[in-house]
């Protein structure tokens, strides 16, 4: 039968072995956690890099605006008018820019707008080659009242060979003309 002292020594040796095992296991866990954390960090870096690359590769939305610049109401039809404008800036590769203004009208009782036919509307107007900014303004007169008017302003960016690089259509806010409208809005 082992002595009490020998039993205590065996017990202490087993306890030390268990502590060493726990210490080694803790080191393995910390090492794995660190590797896993760096893997997550590098995966996050990869995702961020992909998102950045996709944003750089995607074509930027062209800089363009469409506006209602004037809405002139009057009792006389010949004095009623609406003035619409489109403005755009060049995108990389642009040789020339074009703007077309299509005026649309909605009469009382109609659910949808329809095209106004008038000379010079819905025609592509071209910039001078090489300009960085292009603006086109169109005034439409002899408008009916009561009615709502707005414009669909279309933009095209053309490359050196005349091919469309990008295209965009924007709508202006509406010009509301009533039979009793007098003055400028």
Please write the tens of the pLDDT for every residue from 83-97.
Answer: 999 999 999 999 999
Nearest to 123 by CA among 96, 98, 87: 98
Q: How many CB atoms lie within 10 A of CB 130?
A: 9
Residue 183 β-bridge partners: 73
Band of pLDDT at residue 171, cut at 50, 70 and 90 = very high
What gap in Å lies between CA 17 and CA 25, rounded to an integer? 12
Q: Is the pTM of this model over 0.75?
A: no
Work out the percent of the chain whose per-residue pLDDT is above 70. Answer: 63
Please write the tens of the pLDDT for every residue from 48-105.
Answer: 666 566 555 555 566 999 999 999 998 888 899 999 999 999 999 999 999 999 999 9
Asked if 82 contacts 70 with a C-beta cutoff of 8 angstroms, the reply is yes
What gap in Å lies between CA 32 and CA 22, rounded to an integer? 15
Is cis: bond before 146, omega within 30 of 0?
yes
Q: How far does Cα 110 stand from its chain's mean position?
A: 32
Strand extents, DSSP E, the chain: 64-73, 81-89, 96-106, 114-115, 125-126, 133-141, 147-158, 164-171, 175-177, 183-184
Backbone angles phi, psi at 181, to 5 degrees: -70, 125
Please write the tens of the pLDDT for every residue from 101-121.
Answer: 999 999 999 989 999 988 888
Pull the structure tokens for residue 116: 């106004």
């Amino acid at each position: 039968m082992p002595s009490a002292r020998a039993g205590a020594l065996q017990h202490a040796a087993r306890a030390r072995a268990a502590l060493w095992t726990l210490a080694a296991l803790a080191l393995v866990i910390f090492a794995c956690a660190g590797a896993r954390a760096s893997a997550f960090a590098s995966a996050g870096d990869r995702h961020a890099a992909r998102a950045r690359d996709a944003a750089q590769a995607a074509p930027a939305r062209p800089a363009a605006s469409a506006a209602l610049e004037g809405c002139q109401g009057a009792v006389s039809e010949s004095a009623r008018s609406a003035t619409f404008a489109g403005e755009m800036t060049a995108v990389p590769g642009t040789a020339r820019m074009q703007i077309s203004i299509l005026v649309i009208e909605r009469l009382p009782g109609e659910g949808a707008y329809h095209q106004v036919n008038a000379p010079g509307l819905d025609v592509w107007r071209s910039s001078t080659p090489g300009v960085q900014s292009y603006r086109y303004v169109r005034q439409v007169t002899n408008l009916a009242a009561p009615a709502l008017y707005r414009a669909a302003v279309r933009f095209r960016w053309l490359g050196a060979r005349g091919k469309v690089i990008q295209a965009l259509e924007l709508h202006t806010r509406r010009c509301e003309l009533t039979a009793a409208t007098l003055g400028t809005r």
